[in-house]
Amino acid sequence: ATPTAIMVATGVGAKNGVLIKGGDALERAQKIKYVIFDKTGTLTQGKATVTTAKVFSGMDRGDFLTLVASAESSSEHPLGKAILEYARHFHFFEDLSDTKNGHNNNKSFEWLLELTDFCALPGHGVQCFIDGKKILVGNRKLMAENGITVEEHVEKFVVDVEENAETGILVAYDDDLIGVMGIADPLKREAAVVIEGLKKMGIIPVMVTGDNWRTAQAVAKEVGITDVKAEVTPAGKADVVRSLQKGGSLVAMVGDGINDSPALAAADVGMAIGAGTDIAIEAADYVLMRSSLEDVITAIDLSRKTLQRIR
């Protein structure tokens, strides 16, 4: 395309909330064969909500929630934020029913415990120390890698959560599995329509996620994607991009998280969700400022039209 055509397209994009970082990406977007979508925060709203919190140890429910929320208090992950909100609500109502506590501030997080050595483990969860004891909050992989035993009745509980298209988060404290949380994250309202639209444009949608297989399959089915890769590490997401590129096809990646940035960089066209993390935005060629998946189509369509016009 001519520099003028690129400038015009960039302007039209910006007006529609699609920031295009370069003419090369704009040209490549017209030939995209596959669009890979991250699940959490990209296809889903990223507004996760805790639906269940089951304590498997003898621990008091409030103490359990305080521990888990404290461990997640430094996390930027949607799942971490959901857990923090759930615990805050619990403590708010607990304070309300405590008549001795006259003035109550529902925004209060003063019940959070101090922690040390916080570590976010992409694709796994979080780890830190509270009261000198290690706490782990995350998936089965995190538990397995730390040698935590997950008993059969606990595993069954997690499977039930996952079959319901929710994510099961396990919690271990001082090497014991103490509870499980079920977290729901609804699809973006436009997700299914956009997937259908892409298929009509001759593009193959793919879903890639660090989440477990059962949840991934349930979500993919809901949104109309048949090509699913689950339990994928951040580096693995970039491998998925490269494997689809092998036949010479152009691949776009749409993502929002730190864990998506290697894949965004590896893709022929990386598209970051505007509401996503800075690292994802930096790694991408396009930024979808409205965070709407419709703009994946806007972006491809804009590229196709721009390049047709100059022919």
Of 98, 121, 118, which Cα lies nearest the Cα of 108?
Answer: 98
Distance CA 183, CA 198 (A): 29
CB of 257 to Mg ion, least distance (A): 4
Region 204-223 residues binding Mg ion, contact defined as CB under 5 A: none
3-class DSSP assignment, residue 209: coil
Give the β-pairing of 116-121 and 49-55. unpaired
Between 19 and 136, CB nearer to ligand ADP: 136
308's CB contacts (< 8 A; 6+ apart) are none
CB of 67 to ligand ADP, least distance (A): 13
Q: Is 270 in the site for Mg ion (CB under 5 A)?
A: no
Q: Is 185 in the site for Mg ion (CB under 5 A)?
A: no
Contacts by residues 58-66 (CB-CB < 8 Å, ≥ 24 positions apart): 59/178, 59/179, 61/90, 62/90, 62/91, 62/94, 64/171, 64/178, 64/179, 65/90, 65/91, 66/91, 66/111, 66/112, 66/113
Residues in contact with ligand ADP by CB under 6 A are 38-41, 72, 75, 77, 79-80, 123-126, 137-139, 167, 169, 209-211, 257, 259
Q: Is 40 in the site for Mg ion (CB under 5 A)?
A: yes
Q: Is 38 in the site for Mg ion (CB under 5 A)?
A: yes
With contact defined as beta carbons under 8 Å apart, do 136 and 172 qualify? yes
> Catalytic: 295?
no
Query: Which one of the spans 175-183, 221-229, 257-265, 300-308 is the region binding Mg ion (CB under 5 A)?
Result: 257-265
CB of 121 to ligand ADP, least distance (A): 7
Between 197 and 257, CB nearer to ligand ADP: 257
CB of 17 to ligand ADP, least distance (A): 22
Q: Where are the beta strands (DSSP E) in 16-75?
A: 18-20, 32-38, 49-55
Between 9 and 184, CB nearer to ligand ADP: 184
Judged by CB under 5 A, the number of residues near Mg ion is 5
Of 39, 69, 73, 41, which Cα lies nearest the Cα of 53?
Answer: 69
Between 126 and 300, CB nearer to ligand ADP: 126
Q: Name the residues annotated as catalytic.
A: 38
Interacting residue ranges for Mg ion, rule: CB under 5 A: 38, 40-41, 256-257
